Structure 1
Amino acid sequence: MYPEKGSDIIQPLFPWIGGKQALYRMIIDRFPSDYRERKYVEVFGGGASVLLNKDRSVREAINDRNSNLVNLYRMVRERPLELQDRLRYVLNSREDFDTIKRRLAQGHNKDPVKWAADFFQLIKQSYGGGGTSFGGSPRSMRAAFPIIDAVAERLQYVVIENMDFERFIKNQDGPGTLFYLDPPYVLTEDYYGKLFGPPDHFRLADLLMEAQGLWLLSYNYCDTVVALYSVPGIYIEKVERINNLAQRYDPGAVYEEVFISNYDTSIVLPDQISLTGYAPVERNFIWK
């Protein structure tokens, strides 16, 4: 039996990381009805919005190639009070921001709590959560402490890895696995440095076509992505989400994305079952 259910109100530590806010409810609604009984695996962990807001599964694992991010999650899980003490008197200062940015670039792995606190501060105080330029907006570190506590509790049964996505997928794959993947989007690879490059989109597609488990993939809507996954047995659904970064100068702007899966996501979850059984819901499939 899987552990207690996850909370529907846990807020990610930084949901905007990578410039995107995951519409986690839309994603969870597309999981197979038995996802709680499957091994749940997030390949590109990022802000972990989906993991933090879904019910627990029998086994769970999350991975990210960014060692700064993975160390932060480990410290949130294992040493949350020490992390909060490091953050308690942090000032929202451009000079401090530039100092920790230089310190992170040099690396200080010998003190993982300090390392995690620096990265958390960098993301929280940067413009758009990108970690590059000072945002100049008033942000309280202490306001995040209840979130750190909630995330620490939620991560207690979660395996946290820091490895290349190919190795991670092969390690976790099996008939009882459900993968959720939110990779860097096409034409955004420069944001991730050497962690993910244009050829990796093709490598990822090849891996998923051979996977034994079920998988759901979020991507930007573009010709490259559609061409890669327009093969028999694959479902591609086109969706729109609010473009949060564009709201300042273009209110109502939307961003086109796709959900891609190797199973039919139009079969609804148990709490939506009709009197006649599983009822399909409307999906804007552009390939199936």
Structure 2
Amino acid sequence: MKTKPIVPWMGGKRRLVSQLAKKMPEHECYVELFAGGAALFFMRDQQSKVEVINDLNGELVNLYRVVQHHLEEFVRQFKWALVSRQMFDWLKNANTDLMTDIQRAARFYYLQHTAFGAKCFGQNFGTATTARPVNLLRIEEQLSEAHLRLSGVTVEHLSWDACLMKYDRPHSFMYADPPYWKLAGYGVDFGLDQYEKMAELMKTCKSKVMLSINDHPDMRNTFDGLNIDTAEIKYTVGNSTASRSVKQELIIMNY
């Protein structure tokens, strides 16, 4: 069942889904090691027998679990909400310690939909002259399909390598969409050693693994020896012409 991702996400793969889906092998267990906005999970045509989405971002994982199990109460949080800079700042600075999981999920959802560039760290209120802001009155309608799509899906909160090892089987297919190399805005420290570990595990694990990453000489060198293909994608964050140009992405597979 094809549906839309729940939240916009920096580095999301909505525009690459058709190219990625064509390269997916036969499998029984589908695992996303860096779920993020989970564009491939939501937008591909077919479901897998077993599905797992994983992310280290606890707020994102909480959102998926709340939409999966508590959609009605989640929607109720937006009854009096408005899209405004003042509400954005209030929620951004709010103390989440005393919030329920549902309140935290609503806060995170609101901030992701109203932040410039879909950043989850260093957020600023986003405005645009070419698109309308999120319609908070249609949240239930927009999330009903995602609620059904998440039914029976395992939502994990693990490091990427712990998740890979936990579900590593010959019948598993794993998609990895780690932070772009040498690009800021993800709010996580992801060094070259992590990519090197990923390359090593891709060469030794039982699962079939597909990785997408920005085309950089360091990445080509790190994943040398694996099947490296390319795809074009247009980056949209930023006002400069250079930031909006079509650039090349690497799609790396161990099969």
Q: TM-score, normalised by structure 1?
A: 0.80
SS of 2:10's partner is helix
The structure 2 residue matched to 1:224, chosen from 218, 225, 234, is: 218
Between the aligned partners of 2:146 and 2:248, the Cα distance in structure 1 is 30
CA contact 1:66–1:195 (8 Å) conserved in 2: no
Q: Give the aligned residue type for 2:20.
A: I
Cα deviations across residues 19-70 of structure 1 (Å, max 9, x unaligned)? Answer: 44431111111111x23xx111000001111111221111010100000100
Alignment of 1:1-288 (within 5 A): 6-7=1-2, 10-15=3-8, 17-22=9-14, 23-32=16-25, 34-35=26-27, 38-54=28-44, 55-103=46-94, 106-108=95-97, 110-131=99-120, 132-137=123-128, 138-188=133-183, 190-194=184-188, 196-231=190-225, 234-245=226-237, 249=241, 253-263=245-255
Could you say what secondary structure the match of 1:157 adopts?
Answer: coil
2:47 and 2:98 mapped to 1: Cα distance? 31
* Cα deviation code 1:212-237 (max 9, x no counterpart): 01011101101111111111xx2101
Decide whether the 8 Å contact of 2:29 with 2:49 is kept in 1. Answer: yes
Offset of residue 129 of structure 1: 1.1
Which structure's relative contact order is higher, taking Cα pairs within 8 Å and 6+ residues apart?
A: 2
Q: 1:166 to 1:243 in 2, by over 3 A?
A: same
Please report how far the alpha carbon of residue 18 of structure 1 lies from its aligned counterpart in structure 2 after TM superposition: 1.6
Deviations 1:248-269 (A, max 9, x none): 7469720210100011xxxxxx
Structure 2: gaps of 5 or more residues: none
Question: Identity, % of aligned pairs?
Answer: 27
Structure-2 separation of matches of 1:195 and 1:250:
25
* 8 Å contact kept, 2:11–2:180: no
Deviation at 1:193, TM superposition (A): 2.9
Unmatched runs of 5 consecutive residues or more in structure 1: 1-5, 264-288
Tell me how far apart the structure 1 counterparts of residues 137 and 234 of structure 2 sit (CA, whole Å): 29
TM-score, structure 2 normalization: 0.90
Work out whether residues 179 and 213 of structure 1, in 8 Å CA contact, stay in contact via their aligned partners in 2.
yes
In structure 2, do the counterparts of structure 1 residues 39 and 85 end up closer, same or farther at CA, with 3 Å as the change threshold? same
Please say if residues 87 and 141 of structure 1, whose CA atoms lie closer than 8 Å, have aligned partners that are also in contact: yes
SS in 2 for 1:192: coil
Cα distance, 1:142 vs structure 2: 2.4
CA spacing shift, 1:160–1:89, aligned 2, 3 Å: same
1:46 maps to a residue whose letter is G
CA contact (8 A) 2:119 2:186 kept: no
Contact map agreement 1:184 1:196 (CA 8 A) in 2: yes
Distance in 2 between the 1:251 and 1:181 partners?
24
Once the two structures are overlaid, the 10-residue window that deviates more, 160-169 or 193-202, is 193-202
Aligned partner letter, 2:41: L
AA partner of residue 205 (structure 1) = A
Higher Cα radius of gyration: 1
SS at match of 1:121: helix
**Distance of 1:238 and 1:143 partners within structure 2:** 37
CA apart distance, 1:146? 2.0
